[in-house]
């Protein structure tokens, strides 16, 4: 049984995904949905989106049958998640990548949504070993989780540019109809590959910024968000928060999994995507200018690289889904 509990204020809803693949929730200014999609044997995609402002919790209680590992990304808003008997993990400032092995353990997400919050996660079960390939050299903790030998793994890491892109592509597939299933399978495997690379990588705790530097990095991030159309140069931004350009970039990699330049580009494109989702009907040249692109052709190229489709195609799909 895949039973989840949604709670927001006085609103409380339980949903069994073995009975229906999608659940919709609403409470005052907050609306949300959660969807479970089987994509391949032993591999499931979860898509969760909350729109509006408000707080809510999602909780999954035991029992869990067999080994499994969750690989996910949290984008937008702020909050925390906790695997029973493991340390609480927080996220803010745009999102985090995470992994856990919820075998015979409850899981709780506490979410504070600001306009929009999304989560995409893969649930890999023991059968996924055969799907991915038994001979593949999986990270030891992943294989232990799938075999049911690891029950208390809970890890949070900076979300990379690639995982942020894949989260957006899995939330809103570029294709519909019969092609959508094939597209989702490909993106789910790519999502898993990037996560497995994170888990197999070297210790990323070495050389992380101090708490004082973290505060300065967040100030720099806030300034970039406020000045997307006409941002400061890297040297100007670093000087404004009292860091060297090299240290500022190191801080961005530690907190956000990307450089200052890539963060700025992704923030501009994410804003453009939200504007299209909201049905903004303006020429692409004006849309490009409003998010800081002087040339519409550069904007279209960057948008297609990030989301897999052109802004025009994305706009048509958003209109069809509305």
The CATH number of the domain holding residue 314 is 1.10.10.60
Contact 303, 269 (CB under 8 A): yes
> Whole-prediction pTM value?
0.74
Q: Indicate the number of domains in the chain.
A: 3
Q: Does 175 share its domain with 289? A: no
- As given in the structure block, the two tokens for residue 173 are 């597939």
Do residues 298 and 149 both lie within one domain?
Answer: no
Dig out the tokens for 118 from the structure: 């999304």
Q: Are residues 220 and 175 part of one domain?
A: no
Q: Which residues contact 184 (CB under 8 A, 6 or more apart)?
A: 37, 39, 45, 170, 173
- Half-sphere exposure at residue 88, Cβ-oriented, CA atoms within 13 angstroms: 7
Kindly report the backbone phi and psi dihedral angles of residue 233, in degrees, each rounded to the nearest multiple of 5, phi listed first. -70, 170
51 with 173, same domain: the answer is yes
Whether residues 186 and 212 fall in one domain:
no
Q: What is the pLDDT along the chain (322 residues), one digit of tens a residue?
A: 568 899 988 888 898 888 899 999 888 788 899 999 999 998 999 999 988 888 899 998 775 667 889 999 998 888 899 988 788 888 876 688 999 988 788 899 999 887 788 999 999 988 887 777 665 667 777 878 888 787 778 888 888 888 988 998 999 888 888 899 999 999 999 999 888 888 776 544 446 678 888 889 999 999 999 999 999 999 999 999 988 888 898 888 888 878 899 899 999 998 998 888 888 888 999 999 999 998 999 999 999 888 888 998 888 887 776 5
Same domain, 33 and 84: yes
* Spatial contact of 107 and 59, defined as CB atoms under 8 Å apart: yes
pLDDT value at residue 135: 57
101 shares its domain with 12:
yes
Give 175-224 as a DSSP string.
--THHHHHHHHHHHHHHHHHHHHHHHS--TTTTPPPHHHHHHHHHHHHHH
Hunting for tokens 């038994």 — which residue is that? Answer: 134
Domain boundary among 200, 220, 235: 200
Domain limits for position 272:
260-322
Give start and end residues of each alpha helix (H) in 241-310. 245-256, 260-277, 284-290, 296-307
* pLDDT at position 65: 62
Question: Do both 162 and 119 map to the same domain?
Answer: yes
- Phi, psi at 72, each rounded to 5°: -145, 170
- Are both 19 and 34 inside the same structural domain? yes
Same domain, 112 and 165: yes
């Amino acid at each position: 049984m895949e039973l989840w509990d949604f709670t927001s204020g006085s609103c409380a809803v339980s949903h069994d995904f073995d009975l229906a693949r999608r659940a919709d929730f609403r409470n005052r200014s907050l609306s949300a949905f959660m969807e479970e999609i089987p994509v391949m044997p032993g591999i499931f995609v979860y898509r969760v989106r909350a729109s509006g402002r408000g707080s809510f919790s999602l909780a999954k209680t035991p029992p869990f049958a067999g080994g499994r590992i969750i690989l996910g990304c949290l984008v937008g808003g702020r909050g925390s998640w906790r695997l029973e008997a493991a340390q609480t993990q927080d996220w803010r400032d745009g999102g985090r990548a995470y992994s856990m092995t919820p075998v015979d353990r409850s899981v709780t997400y506490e979410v504070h949504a600001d306009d929009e919050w999304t989560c995409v996660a893969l649930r890999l079960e023991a059968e996924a070993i055969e799907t991915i390939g038994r001979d593949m050299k999986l990270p030891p903790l992943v294989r232990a989780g799938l075999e049911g030998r690891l029950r208390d793994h809970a890890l949070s890491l900076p979300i990379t540019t690639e995982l942020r892109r894949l989260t957006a592509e899995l939330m809103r597939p570029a294709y519909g109809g019969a092609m959508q299933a094939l597209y989702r399978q490909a993106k789910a495997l790519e999502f898993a590959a990037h996560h497995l690379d994170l888990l197999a990588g070297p210790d990323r705790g070495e050389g992380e910024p101090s708490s004082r530097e973290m505060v300065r990095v967040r100030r720099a991030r806030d300034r970039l968000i406020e000045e997307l159309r006409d941002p400061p140069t890297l040297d100007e931004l670093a000087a404004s928060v009292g860091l060297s350009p090299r240290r500022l970039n190191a801080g961005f990699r530690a907190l956000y999994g990307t450089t200052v330049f890539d963060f700025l580009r992704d923030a501009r494109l994410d804003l453009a995507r939200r504007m299209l989702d909201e049905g903004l009907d303006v020429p692409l040249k004006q849309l490009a200018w409003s998010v800081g692109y002087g040339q519409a052709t550069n904007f279209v190229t960057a948008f297609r690289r990030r989301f897999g489709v052109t802004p025009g195609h994305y706009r048509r799909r958003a209109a069809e889904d509305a």
